[in-house]
Amino acid sequence: MRAAIEIEGLTKTYGAGSGSVTPVDGLSLTVASGEIFGLLGPNGAGKTTTIKMLAGLVFPSSGSASLLGNPVGHVQTRVRIGYLPESISMNTFMRAAEYLDFHARLYGMGAARRRQKVADVLEQTGLKESAESRVRNFSRGMMQRMALAQAIINEPELLLLDEPASALDPIGRRDLRDIIIRMRNRGTTVLINSHLLSEVEMICTRIGIMNRGRLIRIGEMGAIIRPVQVVDVKTDGLSAEAMASIEELAAKVDFLAGGSFTAMLGNDEEIARLVEIITTSGAVLRELSPRNMTLEAAFLEEIAAAERS
Amino acid sequence: MKTRALAIYTVRHTLRSKSMIAGLAVSLLYLAVIPLLSTAGGGGAMAGAGDRGIAGAQFLNFALGGLNLIGMFMAVFVSLGSVHDEIERGMMATLVTKPMRRSQVIIGRWAGYALLMTGYVLIVGLSLWLTVALDTGQPFWSYIPALGLACLNVVTMVTLTYAISVFMPATANAIFAFLIFGVTASLSLLNIAGAGDGIGMRIVGNLFRLSLPVGEVGDQMRRLLRFRPRTTPITPAYLIPRGWSFLYEIVYIGALLLLVVTVFGKRDLD
């Protein structure tokens, strides 16, 4: 599959000498066409600088990047790209439809297409009812929806989203997810930089984790969020002897009130052994739920490992 | 089409700005008060001017000079934070990432400010002429070139402030622009410096005059209205023939725009 984004040794350095700062350091990354790729990392990891370099706002110090087969900054390629900045302030005197019409003009759309596209994106972003309202009356979440609307008004083949859900309420986030999935189904490639890991977990097919300007992990979501052998157990009548046996078996166990406990085990055989201990002790096993590792846990683990090394 | 869209957007945005609204209020006040100084037959401030034609010319010279000054002040205020503040607020990011060159963004925004301020000077200037023409029969065609120079001065101030806004935030821009304006508008002082015997003083005088030619062009504007400016008794050793200072001003605008386009084209917008 052809690559929508190709980054090779991308570096950005501000300043010179001992006071210089390098927010992005030799980043290499390929995002395939049609992929939803999540870029994660703690504050200062270089995610926003990376997206800004791809959007043509910041010039790289070295390295190269191409979008949809053309080098970053190629004017005609921008017709096929949408960009949502991390923070945006709008001219509040404008009405929502007027603001979007202005951005559609900048994409060179004719009057009929503009009318159709403005109505379309207002509908998609849930702002149809506010089309004639002035932006100054909008909440922060509505502003964020407007910003998203201007980014997708050209039906982009590549969408660069920098913290798209930061100001959205749960309904807004669901709408955002729907829009992104709908665009993915149309073949749009999406690059998302977000701190909202649960959102990323729900929609991204692949993620990259950045720390101190470098990409420390990249992979399919399934490979990064690997299963862990943590089980939540609910029992009735668990004896002290059984509890002692469980403590011996598990790497870690937390007993809670009412016969419930959480145990960290090494493998599936140990889970089977745990069930055996409970049932042979005469206790009743009411529930045993294996836990999946969350993206947040995987993310924190990766960052901690990177910091240690 | 994209540059035009940006220019129209800038006009509409600026028309709603507080600076523009305050400037328009001052202009309306000015238009209401200034005709009181032009009483028929050359009374009031024009008393003793002789015939009505001279009184009319003197009044237009005085009124257009006032408009020139108000226009230049407004030009500074409306374009103060145009580039720097829009980068800070993230508005520039949504423009620069659209399919157009950065130079188009810069020229489109500048054209909006320039068109708006030119329109403003033309409307107020023509209103001023009407108040006098009905009374003194002041010819229209001799007034037009002078009004054109007032427009040119206002566009120059827009361009200067706009250019500085690429480098500095609004407050620093205001200080810088008014500092240059304050120094170079004192044409009589510059003439004294430029007419001095020492080569050093001549260079300083001419450098100041060249750094912002609005004073020189304002002088030319007054001469077009057949009024001898106070600065004429001292003739400076000036690099550009006095009748051609407006051409230098056009080149000055072009050079500033080129500088802005070049700097903005290479600047990180983060």
pLDDT digits (tens, 9 = 90+) for A20-71: 999 999 999 999 999 999 999 888 889 999 999 999 999 999 999 999 999 9
Say yes or no for a CB contact (<8 Å) between B97 and A49: no
Residues of chain A contacting residue B107, judged by C-beta atoms under 8 Å apart: none
Q: Are residues A141 and A197 in the same domain?
A: no
The structure tokens 């609005």 sit at B214
Residues B160 and B154 sit within 8 Å (Cβ to Cβ)? no
Say yes or no for a CB contact (<8 Å) between B6 and A103: no
Q: Are residues A254 and A119 in the same domain?
A: no
Q: Are residues A33 and A102 in the same domain?
A: no
Task: State CA A191 to chain mean position distance.
Answer: 8
Identify the domain boundary among A169, A189, A224.
Answer: A224
Rg over alpha carbons for chain A, rounded to the nearest Å, is 25
d(CA A34, CA B164): 43
Lowest mean pLDDT among A72-86, B40-54, B180-194: B40-54
In angstroms, how far apart are the furthest CA atoms of chain A? 79
Q: Average the pLDDT over A214-236 and give the result.
A: 82
Nearest to A204 by CA among A169, A161, A255: A161
Nearest to B97 by CA among A122, A79, A139: A79
Q: Are residues A110 and A213 in the same domain?
A: no
In chain B, the percentage of residues whose pLDDT exceeds 90 is 26
Within-domain flag for A122: yes
Q: Are residues A50 and A117 in the same domain?
A: no
Q: Average the pLDDT over A176-196 and give the result.
A: 89
Joined together, the tokens standing for residue B111 give: 């054209």
Residues A58 and A12 sit within 8 Å (Cβ to Cβ)? yes
B83 vs chain A: nearest CA distance in angstroms?
Answer: 14
Across the interface, which of A87, A91, A107 has its CB nearest the CB of B98?
Answer: A107
Nearest CA in chain B to A13: B268
Q: What is the pLDDT of residue A153?
A: 95
Q: Are residues A190 and A207 in the same domain?
A: yes
Q: Are residues A239 and A272 in the same domain?
A: yes
Q: Are residues A141 and A18 in the same domain?
A: no
Average pLDDT of chain A, as a whole number: 88
Across the interface, which of B95, B101, B268 has its CB nearest the CB of A58?
Answer: B268
pLDDT confidence bin for B49, thresholds 50/70/90:
very low
How many domains is chain A partitioned into structurally? Answer: 3
Say yes or no for a CB contact (<8 Å) between A85 and B95: no
Within-domain flag for A267: yes
d(CA B112, CA B104): 12
Joined together, the tokens standing for residue B74 give: 């407004």
Task: State CA B173 to chain mean position distance.
Answer: 16
Average pLDDT of chain B, as a whole number: 81
In chain A, the percentage of residues whose pLDDT exceeds 70 is 98
Q: Answer whether A167 touches B (CB < 8 Å).
A: no
Q: What is the pLDDT of residue A265?
A: 82
Cβ within 8 Å of residue B118, ≥6 positions away: B151, B154, B155
pLDDT confidence bin for A308, thresholds 50/70/90:
confident
pLDDT digits (tens, 9 = 90+) for A74-93: 999 999 999 999 887 777 78
Residues of chain A contacting residue B268, judged by C-beta atoms under 8 Å apart: 57-59
Across the interface, which of A56, A85, A108 has its CB nearest the CB of B90?
Answer: A85
Q: What is the pLDDT of residue B229?
A: 52
> In terms of DSSP bridges, do strands A158-162 and A189-193 run parallel, antiparallel, or are they unpaired?
parallel
Residue B216 above 60 pLDDT? yes
Residues of chain B contacting residue A156, judged by C-beta atoms under 8 Å apart: none
Chain A window 22-51: which residues touch B at a Cβ cutoff of 8 Å? 49
Say yes or no for a CB contact (<8 Å) between B91 and A91: yes
Within-domain flag for A304: no
Q: What is the pLDDT of residue B204?
A: 74
Residues of chain A contacting residue B1, judged by C-beta atoms under 8 Å apart: 105, 108
SS3 track for chain A: CCEEEEEEEEEEEECCHHHCEEEEEEEEEEEECCCEEEEECCCCCCHHHHHHHHHCCCCCCEEEEEECCEECCCCHHHHHEEEECCCCCCCCCCEHHHHHHHHHHHCCCCHHHHHHHHHHHHHHCCCHHHCCCEHHHCCHHHHHHHHHHHHHCCCCCEEEEECCCCCCCHHHHHHHHHHHHHHHHCCCEEEEECCCHHHHHHHCCEEEEEECCEEEEEEEHHHHCCEEEEEEEEEECCCHHHHHHHHHHCCEEEECHHHEEEEECCCHHHHHHHHHHHHHCCCEEEEEEEEECCHHHHHHHHHHHHHHC
Q: Are residues A111 and A244 in the same domain?
A: no
Within-domain flag for A309: no
Within-domain flag for A203: yes
Identify the domain boundary among A123, A149, A175.
Answer: A149
Q: Are residues A191 and A47 in the same domain?
A: yes
Say yes or no for a CB contact (<8 Å) between B90 and A86: yes
CATH number at residue A248: 3.30.70.100
Chain A window 67-86: which residues touch B at a Cβ cutoff of 8 Å? 75-79, 81, 83, 85-86
B160 vs chain A: nearest CA distance in angstroms?
Answer: 24
Identify the domain boundary among A130, A149, A168.
Answer: A149
Q: Answer whether A52 touches B (CB < 8 Å).
A: yes
pLDDT digits (tens, 9 = 90+) for B99-130: 999 999 999 999 999 999 999 999 998 888 88
Residues A235 and A259 sit within 8 Å (Cβ to Cβ)? yes
Within-domain flag for A300: no
pLDDT digits (tens, 9 = 90+) for B63-87: 888 888 899 989 999 888 888 888 8
Q: Are residues A61 and A167 in the same domain?
A: yes
Within-domain flag for A303: no
Nearest to A204 by CA among A189, A226, A187: A189
Who has greater pLDDT, A266 or A45? A45
Q: Is A272 exposed, middle or buried (0-12, 13-18, 19+ CB in 10 A)?
A: exposed
SS3 track for chain B: CHHHHHHHHHHHHHHCCHHHHHHHHHHHHHHHHHHHHCCCCCCHHHCCCCCHHHHHHHHHHHHHHHHHHHHHHHHHHHHCCCCHHHHHCCHHHHHHCCCCCHHHHHHHHHHHHHHHHHHHHHHHHHHHHHHHHHHHCCCHHHHHHHHHHHHHHHHHHHHHHHHHCCCCCHHHHHHHHHHHHHHHHCHHHHHHHHCCCCHHHHHHHHHHHHHCCHHHHHHHHHHHCCCCCCCCCCCCCCCCCHHHHHHHHHHHHHHHHHHHHHHHHHCCCC
CATH number at residue A33: 3.40.50.300
Say yes or no for a CB contact (<8 Å) between B268 and A57: yes
Q: What is the pLDDT of residue A261?
A: 92
d(CA B259, CA B262): 5
Beta bridge partners of A248: none
Joined together, the tokens standing for residue B120 give: 């403003």
* B42, B122, B157 from B144: Cα distances, Å: 22, 9, 20
Q: Average the pLDDT over B214-222 and give the result.
A: 81
Q: Are residues A46 and A192 in the same domain?
A: yes
Within-domain flag for A126: yes
Q: What is the pLDDT of residue B40?
A: 43
Residues of chain B contacting residue A58, judged by C-beta atoms under 8 Å apart: 268-270
Nearest to A52 by CA among A140, A161, A153, A149: A161
Residue A291 above 70 pLDDT? yes
Residues of chain B contacting residue A135, judged by C-beta atoms under 8 Å apart: none
d(CA B90, CA A144): 13
Q: Answer whether A107 touches B (CB < 8 Å).
A: yes
Q: Is B171 exposed, middle or buried (0-12, 13-18, 19+ CB in 10 A)?
A: exposed
The domain of A178 spans 3-80+156-224
Q: Answer whether A222 touches B (CB < 8 Å).
A: no
Task: State CA A85 to chain mean position distance.
Answer: 15
d(CA B218, CA B70): 13
Nearest CA in chain A to B103: A75
